[in-house]
Structure 1
Amino acid sequence: MIRALHRWPGLLAALLLTVLSLSGAALSVFPARDRLAAPQAEAALTVADLAPRILAEYPGLEQIRRAPSGRITAYWFEDGTPKAGVIDPASGRAVASADPNRMERWLTNLHRSLFLGDGGRIAMAAGAAAMLALALSGAALVARRTGGWRRWFGPLRGPAAGRWHAEIARVTVLGLTLSSATALWMTASTFGVLPDEARAPGFPAEVSGQTGVPLAALEGLDATPVATLRELTFPYPGDATDVFTLKTETGSGYLDQGTGALLAWADLSGWARVSETIYMLHTGQGAALLGLVLGLMALGVPAMAGTGVALWAKARRGRPRLHGNIPARRAETIVLVGSEGGSTWGFAATLHAALTQAGQSVHVAPMSAFDPARYAAAKRILILAATYGDGAAPASAQKFLDRLEGLETAPEAPVAVLGFGDRSFPDYCGFAGQVAEAATAKGWPVLRPFDTVDRQSPQDFARWGRHLGQALGMDLELAHQPVLPQAATLTLLSRRDYGAEVQAPTAILRFSLPRVPLWRRITGHGFGGFSAGDLLGILPGDSAPPRFYSLASARRDGFVEIAVRKHPGGLCSGRLLALRPGDRMQAFIRRNPGFRPAAGRAPLILIGAGTGIGPLAGFIRSNARRRPIHLFFGLRHPDSDFLYDAEIPGWQTDGRLARLVTAVSRGKRPYYVQDALRAEGADLARLIGQGARVMVCGGREMAAGVSEALAEILRPTGLTPALLKAEGRYVEDVY
């Protein structure tokens, strides 16, 4: 519901909000300009001092006004011609023209009404209402994504467009809420929806009928600082029944032009004070710095519109058209999809095609359409569920758990739940896990145990497909092909081989940088700007999905480097280890922003085993600032698979690596990396307590053991791996 409230007003009002925000940002400059340009009155100067100065210079003086910026403007007649000027309060002389700025007036009309009068005002009010809905719903979504309001400024992970959208939102949402709410108030006041804020005193029934009182003798002017003046209007020349009108920040009144006596006075009402405060908050008039801040925040709207449309378009593209989607009542297999960005729909389409080719009748639908009463022919129900933010349901899975809970009995067709997520998030596949637990609690028969796919891995999906095929009694190959970026040709420069003695052939492969267009180098796309920890996608051929290897180098290193271990029957690893210097292959870059060192000087605790040392070595190589790095490396035998054994001593000597702890698993007494962590537990707890960041790279079993060991080590401190993940201080790259 919150996402729908956020998405549709944004898409429908993107252009209007862009005009509204850009014009508002431009207008925010004028109050600051006026404040800086206008001569300011001294704090002790009163209206009784100022008015005679101006009158002496301009005998035909008609009115004196003071703007919230402090600019004083006088209006007078000279030889029957109306004149106006900006006044220097020290001399009473005009120092600048009082003509309104044409650009400011044009922008004001655009911002208020689109030059369309009352109809335009209503349209802009609708835009302000949409902005308010976007701001409030966006704030709720950001809080959900970061894990709560207390973690509002916590680290964000995920695709660049989504991260930038949320980063801009959490900086600007307060200003946008304030601007849109005040705009709606002002529109309501303009159209008379709110009570009349004016409360002027009644015009005096009797006046002295005399004229010519000195301005300094007018009652109260000597006690009225210029800083509080709004307006002083002079009587019409020759009309003895007219009076002086004085308006200040506290109220307004009339003064007799013959005696100077105060004839009537009315204090400013509370409602008027509220309205003036709202006007000040919206326009910046009288609060130039606040106006500039709100103007800068308004510039976030077009940026968020762009990233928001990109996210929406990506979600639309990610939901493929399914050909031959059997109606739910006739399908043997029901596939339910919970997706936020749309990528899970691509996996569902691959599953639909494979099952259909195997002779199954398949119906694919969003999880929100869950209705067992319609599944009359169903023999199995497969649920593919992503997770949004901190364990929340994605857009297409709203109400699923409520509907499951509301069933009297569980469906008869057995279920298999597959979660899609990113291990770098603290609640990895959290929503899918909730679905699996709810199904078990309901007594729903299980076709396959709960399983997960990390970072849209085609390999994880293919593995799950083979297990599903076994449960169905068929061969099921799920060769998911995500939309791939354009590949480049890499040439192997050198290789270093390890692991032959322990029957685990491994190599560090170094490739030359491919030539990339200038625009890619400027924008940092693809090979134009990769970092250690990003992923190198290899196309093994034979229509197989790409394999991904963590990069052990950054572009500034001048080469592309990965560590590869040969897997039995591995198509890609086998081809890579068969390469010789001069051989070529096709590859592309996939960003992995969730797995890279955060900026700063806080210590890094790097934990890896086997080829998992690859990106960790890249981080150490890039440690030009010599921040403290502690490396825990698990290997089989130091004489066989001690990867980067040639570089590590040099990194220790020049301060890039502060400490190395190795764990050798092949020996008289197997010693694993989690054992090494426990042995150094006291020092690790101290480092983490001081703000250290933990980065883990390697196999799933190793990562699970590391998490368990750290949980034991940190238990006395009150910290946990889950809490560190929520703070962005514990990240994993697991395969």
Structure 2
Amino acid sequence: MIRVLHRWPGLLALVLVTVLALSGAALSIFPAAERLSAPQAEAGLRVAELATRIQVAYPGVEQIRRAPSGRITAYWFDQGTPGAAVIDPATGQGVASADPNQTVRWLTNLHRSLFLGDGGRIAMALGAAAMLVLSVSGVALVARRVGGWRHWFAPLRGPLAGRLHVEIARIAVLGLMLSSTTALWMTASTFDLLPDGGAVPTFPNEVSGEMGATISDLATLATTPVADLRELSFPYPDDPTDVFTLKTDHGTGYLDQGNGALLVWADLTGWDRVSETIYMLHTGQGAAMLGLVLGLMALGLPAMGATGVLIWLTGRRGRPRIRGNQSAARAETILLVGSEGGSTWGFAATLHAALTDAGQSVHTAPMSTFAPDRYARADRIIVLASTYGDGASPASANGFLDRLAALDHAPKAPLAVLGFGDRNFPAYCAFAKAVSAAAEAKGWSELIPFDTVDRQSPQDFVRWGRALGQAMGLDLELVHQPAVPATETLTLISRRDYGAEVQVPTAILRFALPRATLWKRLSGAGFARFNAGDLIGILPEGSPVPRLYSLASARRDGFVEIVVRKHPGGLGSSQLTALEPGERVAAFLRRNPGFQPGRGSAPLILIGAGTGIGPLAGFVRGNARRRPIHLFFGMRHPDSDFFYGEEMRAWQQEGRLSRLVTAVSRGGRPRYVQDAVRDDAAEVARLVRNGARVLVCGGRDMAAGVSDALVEILAPVGLTPAVLKAEGRYVEDVY
């Protein structure tokens, strides 16, 4: 429901909200500019002295106004001709025209009413209401995504558009809520929908009838600071019944023009002060710096609108449509999905359709929406969960485990958990296992035992579906065909072959960079934007399951490069290593933001063996800022598989690679990369103690050996790989 409240006001009112934000941001500049340019009254100057100076310069002065910026304007008649000027309070002389700024007037009319009068005001009020709904729902969605209010500024991952959208929202949302709320208040005031709480004193019935008192003799004006002045109106000439009208920050009063007596005074009411505060907050008049801050926040709204549209379009393409999705309160079966790339949603859609066809009412939603108190009619809860990186929760499951831990007791409806992953990776279904373990610890009853699906296997899904159907008393056949990602054609332009001497054929394959359309460049789709360490997927002939390979290049390098070892019987590796220059292969890009060197100048320790050198070489190649990089590389023999050997020497000369340490496992003294790390223990410990980030890429046995070596090396300095992982300073990409 929150997503719906956030999505549709944003899409339907995008143009209105953008106009409001841009015009408001432009208007926020002028109060600050006025404050800087207007001559300011000296400290302690009184209204009587200021008025005397102006009256000397302009004997026919009728009114003096002081704006919240401190700018003083005088209005007068000179032989029947009106005049006005911005006043220098030190001299009483005019120093600038008082004519309204035409740019400000034009922007104000656009901002308030789109030049359409009352109809335009109503339209812009609807835009402000949409902005408020977007802000409130956006706050709830951000809190849900990052796992609660305590993690409001937690690091983000995922596609660039989504990260930008949330990063801007986390900073700008309070300003947008303030601007939209005050805009609605001012619109309501314009249309007299709010009570008139202003205190205007009754005009005095009795005056002295005298005239001619000098302003300096008026005691009230002589004691009122100019800093408090809002407006001073002079009596009409030759009218002994008229009075001075004084308006200040404290109230309004009338002064006798003959003897200066204060005839009537009315203090500002609480309602007046609330209304003025809201006006100040919205316009920046009297709070120029706040206005500029709110204006800058408003500039984030068009950016959020653009990224929001991209997120919506990407979501429509990447997530299957769930037909007949019931509300959480009415559903008998609650189906919660934890997915990073979107493939698990496809399985959820198949399960949802099968259960619906069997007569069940089903509610399917992200795991991040987990709220047992809403599942009033639920007979069962089913969780389909993938794993992100090294056992972390996927994007749509953020906060699930925290919400489960916070419950006083487990939900009454029994639970079934199905994990999705790849057995080739050490953290196979680790997050789903964590969910199952947490549920067991909470005492949550089990519908069917925990199970897994390996590499999107339809057969595993069918087997699990039969077990689920049996537990529910249904004949459940889950026929699912994994969706094939949209691919692009890559043309091989060069290859370098290694490994023949040790009977391990390996190739560095370089493909031409596919052309990117304008839309792909804007949205970052396909190969329009990628980094070393991201993945490309190849769908081998005769297999529905793609094979993933780490990229050794970034978009800025101008080519797509991978390092592939031919595995006996491997469909993907056999197809790739058989390619010749000029031949083509269909591939798709998958982001891997969890395995990146990150920004900053802290040293990097890169550790890899065999084809694991691919992304590490890409990190070194992209090190244009000469960040200190220490590379540990394990190979079988330098004459057979010293991948990127020539480039590494050049990178060292260019300063991209600070140090290279190699380990050779086939030779007189076999030495593995973890041995090289141990032999350099003192330097490794020093680097880590000084903030170095460690990235490991290669086989799982190698990664385990490196982790064991680091446990020994870091123990004297009170650190462990687990601590570094928690700090985001130790990441792995293993297979």
Q: Tell me if TM exceeds 0.5.
A: yes
Q: For the aligned residues, what is the CA RMSD? A: 4.9
Counterpart Cα distance in 1 of 2:716 and 2:494? 49
Contact 1:602 1:693 in 2 (8 A): yes
1:406 partnered with 2:406: no
Would the alpha carbon gap of residues 13 and 241 (structure 1) be closer, same or farther in structure 2, given more than 3 Å must change? Answer: same
User: Which residue in 2 is equivalent to 1:615?
Assistant: 615
SS of the equivalent of 1:299 reads helix
- The letter of the residue matching 2:486 is L
Contact 1:125 1:183 in 2 (8 A): yes
User: Which residue in 2 is equivalent to 1:482?
Assistant: 484
Contact 2:165 2:308 in 1 (8 A): yes
SS of the equivalent of 2:419 reads strand
Superposition deviation, residue 305 in structure 1: 2.0
Counterpart Cα distance in 2 of 1:673 and 1:718? 23
User: Which residue in 1 is equivalent to 2:398?
Assistant: 392
User: Which residue in 2 is equivalent to 1:495?
Assistant: 496
- The letter of the residue matching 1:566 is K
User: Which residue in 2 is equivalent to 1:347?
Assistant: 346
Contact 1:385 1:432 in 2 (8 A): no
TM-score of the pair, normalised by structure 2: 0.79
Contact 1:532 1:619 in 2 (8 A): yes
Contact 1:538 1:588 in 2 (8 A): yes
Superposition deviation, residue 498 in structure 1: 1.8
1:213-232 to 2 correspondences below 5 Å: 213-232=213-232
Counterpart Cα distance in 1 of 2:386 and 2:174? 33
Counterpart Cα distance in 1 of 2:501 and 2:59? 104
Superposition deviation, residue 533 in structure 1: 2.1
User: Which residue in 1 is equivalent to 2:10?
Assistant: 10
Would the alpha carbon gap of residues 361 and 656 (structure 1) be closer, same or farther in structure 2, given more than 3 Å must change? Answer: farther
Cα distance per residue 1:121-179 (max 9 Å; x no partner): 56645544443443344344435544565654443210122111112112312322332
Cα distance per residue 1:85-144 (max 9 Å; x no partner): 333434434454434344433443443455676676566455444434433443444355
Contact 1:628 1:658 in 2 (8 A): yes
- Larger CA deviation: 661-670 vs 688-697: 661-670
User: Which residue in 2 is equivalent to 1:645?
Assistant: 645
User: Which residue in 1 is equivalent to 2:390?
Assistant: none
Superposition deviation, residue 33 in structure 1: 3.6
Out of 448, 451, 455, the residue aligned to residue 449 of structure 1 is: 451
Counterpart Cα distance in 1 of 2:383 and 2:593? 31
SS of the equivalent of 2:219 reads coil
- The letter of the residue matching 2:411 is G
1:46-57 to 2 correspondences below 5 Å: 46-57=46-57
Superposition deviation, residue 235 in structure 1: 1.2
User: Which residue in 2 is equivalent to 1:695?
Assistant: 695
Cα distance per residue 1:236-286 (max 9 Å; x no partner): 222212211112224333222112233344444555444433322221112
Contact 1:391 1:431 in 2 (8 A): no
1:535 partnered with 2:535: yes
- Larger CA deviation: 223-232 vs 508-517: 508-517
SS of the equivalent of 1:647 reads helix
Contact 2:13 2:130 in 1 (8 A): yes
1:9-88 to 2 correspondences below 5 Å: 9-43=9-43, 45-80=45-80, 82-88=82-88
Cα distance per residue 1:261-315 (max 9 Å; x no partner): 3334444455544443332222111222322221121121122122223323333
Counterpart Cα distance in 1 of 2:321 and 2:269? 62
Between the two proteins, the alignment pairs up a number of residues equal to 706
Contact 2:411 2:444 in 1 (8 A): no
User: Which residue in 2 is equivalent to 1:331?
Assistant: none
Contact 2:147 2:398 in 1 (8 A): no
1:76-475 to 2 correspondences below 5 Å: 76-80=76-80, 82-113=82-113, 124-125=124-125, 127-146=127-146, 152-187=152-187, 198-201=198-201, 203-269=203-269, 272-320=272-320, 336=335, 338=337, 343-344=342-343, 346-348=345-347, 366=364, 383-384=384-385, 387=393, 389=395, 392=398, 405-407=410-412, 410=414, 415=416, 417-419=418-420, 430=431, 433-435=434-436, 437-438=438-439, 441-444=443-446, 446=448, 449-450=451-452, 459=455
1:655-666 to 2 correspondences below 5 Å: 655-662=655-662
- Larger CA deviation: 145-154 vs 303-312: 145-154
Would the alpha carbon gap of residues 680 and 235 (structure 1) be closer, same or farther in structure 2, given more than 3 Å must change? Answer: same
How many percent identity over aligned positions? 61
Would the alpha carbon gap of residues 322 and 26 (structure 1) be closer, same or farther in structure 2, given more than 3 Å must change? Answer: closer
Would the alpha carbon gap of residues 449 and 716 (structure 1) be closer, same or farther in structure 2, given more than 3 Å must change? Answer: farther
Contact 1:112 1:120 in 2 (8 A): yes
User: Which residue in 2 is equivalent to 1:329?
Assistant: none
- The letter of the residue matching 2:296 is L
Counterpart Cα distance in 1 of 2:514 and 2:626? 30
Contact 1:350 1:480 in 2 (8 A): no
Contact 1:337 1:348 in 2 (8 A): no
Would the alpha carbon gap of residues 145 and 442 (structure 1) be closer, same or farther in structure 2, given more than 3 Å must change? Answer: closer
- Larger CA deviation: 586-595 vs 217-226: 586-595
Superposition deviation, residue 234 in structure 1: 0.8
Contact 1:24 1:295 in 2 (8 A): yes
SS of the equivalent of 1:170 reads helix
- The letter of the residue matching 2:84 is A
Contact 1:335 1:348 in 2 (8 A): no
- The letter of the residue matching 1:551 is L
Counterpart Cα distance in 1 of 2:678 and 2:194? 68
Counterpart Cα distance in 2 of 1:419 and 1:398? 22
Contact 2:65 2:72 in 1 (8 A): yes
Superposition deviation, residue 225 in structure 1: 3.8
SS of the equivalent of 2:111 reads helix
Contact 1:54 1:93 in 2 (8 A): yes
Superposition deviation, residue 64 in structure 1: 0.9
- Larger CA deviation: 258-267 vs 696-705: 696-705
Contact 2:352 2:364 in 1 (8 A): no
Would the alpha carbon gap of residues 188 and 432 (structure 1) be closer, same or farther in structure 2, given more than 3 Å must change? Answer: farther
Would the alpha carbon gap of residues 252 and 35 (structure 1) be closer, same or farther in structure 2, given more than 3 Å must change? Answer: same
Would the alpha carbon gap of residues 370 and 210 (structure 1) be closer, same or farther in structure 2, given more than 3 Å must change? Answer: closer
Question: Which consecutive unaligned segments of at least 5 residues does structure 1 have?
Answer: 326-333, 453-458
- The letter of the residue matching 2:226 is V
Contact 1:512 1:559 in 2 (8 A): yes
Counterpart Cα distance in 2 of 1:514 and 1:63? 71
Would the alpha carbon gap of residues 65 and 546 (structure 1) be closer, same or farther in structure 2, given more than 3 Å must change? Answer: same
Counterpart Cα distance in 2 of 1:350 and 1:511? 36
Contact 2:335 2:348 in 1 (8 A): no
SS of the equivalent of 1:209 reads coil
- Larger CA deviation: 625-634 vs 185-194: 185-194
Contact 1:139 1:173 in 2 (8 A): yes
TM-score of the pair, normalised by structure 1: 0.79
SS of the equivalent of 2:410 reads helix
Question: Which consecutive unaligned segments of at least 5 residues does structure 2 have?
Answer: 326-332, 388-392, 469-475
Superposition deviation, residue 467 in structure 1: 8.5
Contact 2:608 2:634 in 1 (8 A): yes
Contact 2:436 2:450 in 1 (8 A): no
User: Which residue in 1 is equivalent to 2:330?
Assistant: none
Would the alpha carbon gap of residues 301 and 224 (structure 1) be closer, same or farther in structure 2, given more than 3 Å must change? Answer: same
Contact 1:335 1:362 in 2 (8 A): no
